[in-house]
């Protein structure tokens, strides 16, 4: 029995959908993914600290935020290596 025009078009669409499209991004290892996630988390923490530092008025609070900022920046530098 001959296949109808519509069923052939659907079959072609399914086949095209199963084929890879363009160049695939290289797979990253779990360690690399964890490192990227850690760096993103550190950058977010740094951003939050900078935001809080802009609004802080008490010297003791500002010192605490500055110390936290130094620690975060040190970790960012170590992660970047």
pTM summary value: 0.64
What's the distance, CA 49 to chain centroid?
A: 20
What is the per-residue pLDDT for 42? 94
* Domain parsing of the chain, residue ranges: 29-81
40-64 pLDDT per residue, tens: 999 999 999 999 999 999 999 999 9
């Amino acid at each position: 029995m001959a296949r109808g025009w519509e069923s052939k078009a659907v079959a072609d669409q399914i086949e095209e959908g199963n084929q890879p499209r363009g160049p695939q991004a290289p797979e990253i290892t779990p360690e690399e993914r964890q490192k990227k996630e850690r760096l993103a988390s550190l950058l977010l923490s740094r951003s939050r600290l900078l935001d809080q530092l802009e609004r802080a008025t008490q010297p003791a609070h500002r010192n605490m935020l500055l110390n936290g900022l130094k620690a975060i920046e040190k970790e960012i530098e170590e992660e970047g290596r």
